[in-house]
Chains A and B, each alone.
Chain A
Amino acid sequence: MIRAERISKSFGDRRVLTDISAVFEPGKTNLIIGKSGSGKTVFLKCLVGLLEVDEGELYYDNVLFTGLDFRGKKEIRQQMGMLFQGSALFDSMTVEENVRFPLDMFTTMSYQEKLDRVNFCLDRVHIVNSNRLFPSELSGGMKKRVAIARAIALKPRFLFCDEPNSGLDPKTSIVIDELIREITVELSMTTIVNTHDMNSVMENGEKIIFIEEGEKCWEGNKNEILKSDCRILNEFVFANALARQLKDSSG
Chain B
Amino acid sequence: MFRFLSGFGSYWMLLGRVFAKPEKHSIYYRQTMKELVSLGLRSIGIVTIISFFMGAVITLQTAYNTENPIYPTYLIGLGARDSIILEFSSTIVALILAGKVGSNIASEIGTMRVTEQIDALELMGVNSASYIILPKVVASVLFNPFLTLISIITGITGGWIVGTSAGVITSQDYIYGIQYAFIPYYITYSLIKTVVFAFIITTVSAHQGYNVEGGSLEVGRASTKAVVYSSVTILLFNVILTQMLLS
Contact = CB atoms under 8 A, between A and B. Distances in A.
Tell whether A and B belong to one assembly: yes
A218 interface: no
Give the interface residue-count category, chain A. Answer: 20 to 34
Contacts of B120: 82, 84, 88, 90
Interface residues of B, number: 15
A104 B27 contact: yes
A142 B17 CA distance: 34
A50 B124 contact: no
Contacts of A80: 123
B125 interface: yes
B117 interface: yes
A246 interface: no
Interface in B24-54: 24, 27
Contacts of A85: 116
A102 interface: yes
Contacts of A67: none
Contacts of B23: 105
B119 A104 contact: no
B27 A105 contact: yes
A86 interface: yes
A35 interface: no
Interface of B: 23-24, 27, 111-112, 115-117, 119-120, 122-126
26 contacts: A45-B119, A50-B119, A50-B122, A74-B125, A77-B123, A77-B124, A77-B125, A78-B124, A78-B125, A80-B123, A82-B120, A84-B116, A86-B115, A88-B116, A88-B117, A88-B120, A89-B117, A90-B117, A90-B120, A91-B115, A102-B124, A105-B23, A105-B27, A105-B124, A106-B124, A106-B125
Given A84-B116, A101-B124, 16 more contacts: A45-B119, A50-B122, A77-B123, A77-B124, A78-B125, A82-B123, A88-B115, A89-B117, A90-B112, A90-B117, A91-B115, A104-B27, A105-B23, A105-B124, A106-B124, A106-B125
